[in-house]
Amino acid sequence: MKNNFFFLVLFISMNVFSQENPDSRGGYFGNFFFGTATIESENNYKVNADAVGGGVGKEFILSKQLSLIAAVAHLRIQHEIPVPINSSPLFQVNNFIKIPILLRYGHEFIENSTIYAETGIYVASLYKLKVENIALNSSKNENNVGFNSGLELNMGLRYQLSEVYSFEFGLNSQADLFQTYDDSVSKIKIVELYSFQLRIGAKI
């Protein structure tokens, strides 16, 4: 059931990609981001973590200053699991496929340079969870264990390199509102995540 819901969101996003009005030409983009997160495992622990990821997406122009952003991204969050003293250290790697839908407001303050802010929602599927015991050289994998959804807020600067290409850098933040997981796995909550983003855009 949870997989069906995720693929429904993915289908809607891809359908949005295909319905662009020729008069509102936006552009495609690829991005890379890295930062830090706070992760909470239900009834277990709360730790700081490293986050890195990237994705591709599409911008749809709504007006001179407003646009809609739809994307598909991979998000990797890894951290150490707290264990008793003298126990072997454990590391957990969480791999998500994330679908954000964002509304962007942009203001061109000088020629070819636009400051922007984005806000919206995301749904993320934790498609692979891996726990590693380095001392024993062993690992345990769990696949398709649950979903996270929440709010995202971003801001940054876009520079138009040419009529076709643009470059952006900015700061991203996100936080979970809801989690839906299998009963056999503790819910993984993204309490907060802050990252630095680089993005290349192209009108093709």
CA dihedral 75, 170, 195, 74 (to 10 degrees): 0
Q: For position 91, what pLDDT does the model report?
A: 94
CA 180 to chain centre: 17
Q: For position 32, what pLDDT does the model report?
A: 97
Distance CA 204, CA 187 (A): 41
2-202 CATH:
2.40.160.20
pLDDT < 50 stretches in the chain: 7, 9, 13-14, 17-18, 20, 22-23
Q: Give whole-number Cα distances, 70 to 11, 104, 137, 165, in Å.
A: 12, 11, 40, 18
Distance CA 161, CA 159 (A): 6
Closest CA to 126 of 104, 141, 136: 141
In the chain the beta strands, taken as DSSP E runs, fall at: 27-41, 45-61, 66-81, 90-110, 113-133, 138-160, 165-181, 188-202
Phi-psi region of 137 (alpha: psi -120 to 50; beta: other; left: phi over 0): left
Q: For position 19, what pLDDT does the model report?
A: 52
Give 20-52 pLDDT, tens digit per residue: 454 456 799 999 999 999 999 988 899 999 999
Q: Which amino acid is at 4?
A: N
User: Residue ranges per domain, the chain?
Assistant: 2-202
